[in-house]
Every structure is written in C-alpha cells, then in structure tokens.
Amino acid sequence: MASASDGKIKTIREKTFWEKYQPVKNHLDSNAAFDGCMFETFGEELAFVTSQPTEKVWTYVQADNDEYIVTGVHLVNRLGYFVTKEPWTEDMQFKV
C-alpha cells in the first residue's frame, strides 16, 4: 500500500469499499443516493459529515471526466460524502 506522503494512491474495487469499510445509511435523507448511503455537501448532512472522525469520511468526487470515491473530506469537485463504520488508515489514500 502506498502512503499519502509519496503521492501514490491505492485503488480498490467498489465491492471492497462496501464490504470492508461499510458505509452507513444517511439517517437524514431516506432517498439518498448509493442505496441511501451518500450525504449531501451542504446543510445538516454536511454538518453531520464534518462532525465524524476524518478517517471515517470519504468524498465522492468528479475529476478527469470520471467519478471517484476518495479518502477524507474534500471541497473541490465534490458530489457527496460517505461515512463508514470502519476507518481508513491515516497514511493511506484510496480511489474506488
């Protein structure tokens, strides 16, 4: 696994993301995207996301004409957030 400090990003499969990190349901919006697990980028949902431990937050972003789920809270090109039961390792960055 690559560390964030060396600029490399480890890619994992979407299935691995769902099974290993276990995104929680959005308790604020019963119609949330991604089977009810995505949180919005504003309002009460953003407040909830930012109150969580950073290592349990992932950002759904659009970049390079594609969409990714990456570790941490990002503000640029964000489409939404996920909060997971299991944390990612602080020195790791993942792309799903």
Each residue's pLDDT tens digit, 26-57: 999 999 999 999 999 999 999 999 999 999 99
**pTM of the prediction?**
0.86
Residue-number span of the structural domain to which 55 is assigned: 4-95
Residue bearing the bigger pLDDT, 63 or 39 = 39
pLDDT > 90? residue 7: no
Res. 9 pLDDT band, cuts 50 70 90 = confident
Mention every residue, 6+ apart, whose C-beta is less than 8 A from residue 45.
26, 28, 29, 39, 81
Going by their DSSP bridges, the two strands 66-71 and 10-11 should be labelled as unpaired
Nearest to 40 by CA among 79, 76, 70, 66: 79
| Number of domains making up the chain | 1
CA distance 19 to 42: 27
* 65-78 per-residue burial string, b: 16 or more CB within 10 A, e: under 16: eeebbbbeebeeeb
Band (74; pLDDT cuts 50, 70, 90) = very high
